[in-house]
Amino acid sequence: MTDALEGGCACGRLRYRLASKPMFVHCCHCRDCQRQTGSAFVINALIETDRVEILSGETEAVQVPTDSGRPHVICRCAACHVAAWSHYGGVQRLSFVRVGALDEPSALPPDVHIYTRSKLPWVALPADVPAVEAYYDSKTLWPAESLARRKEIFG
Ligand SMILES: [Zn+2]
Ligand SMILES: [Zn+2]
């Protein structure tokens, strides 16, 4: 399983491995994510930063403006600048890893679709995956094991 959870940038210098499965996977349809990716949504795997092992290369942290004003730092390959993961709200211990940059993006399907209020109209969502207009309370959707891991980060 963990073999599937390696990823990298476009130039190949930055390579990383997720040491375990993430806590939860978001498919985010917000305007920030659409703007930053140039696409309809982003897929983020939420995982402890110390479980993101850099195998080679370096990242460069880029602070980006957001609609909410909440801090958002994107860690990009220092050479080709492809986005690898993000930290939101100044929480360095939590990483939002871009699932599309993993070697096997199909390994981590979304656990929830968020900010569907700005979802592009031609994107059809699966009926069996929770979807919310904006954000949600993790206690309502996350499995107990993931909530316990989240508690380690936020106390
Ligand atoms: Zn978003
Ligand atoms: Zn690169």
Residue pair 25/92 in contact by the 8 Å Cβ criterion: no
E strand or H helix that includes residue 152? helix 144-154
**Spans in the chain with pLDDT lower than 50:** none
Q: How far, in Å, is the centroid of ligand 2 from the Cα of 74? A: 14
| Mean pLDDT score across all residues of the chain | 96
β-partners of residue 117 are none
The pLDDT > 70 percentage for the chain reads 98
Q: What is the pLDDT of residue 78?
A: 98
Q: Report the SS3 class of residue 62.
A: strand
Q: What is the pLDDT of residue 4?
A: 72
Q: How far, in Å, is the centroid of ligand 2 from the Cα of 58? A: 9
Q: What is the pLDDT of residue 3?
A: 65
For the question of whether the overall pTM of this predicted structure is more than 0.85, the answer is yes
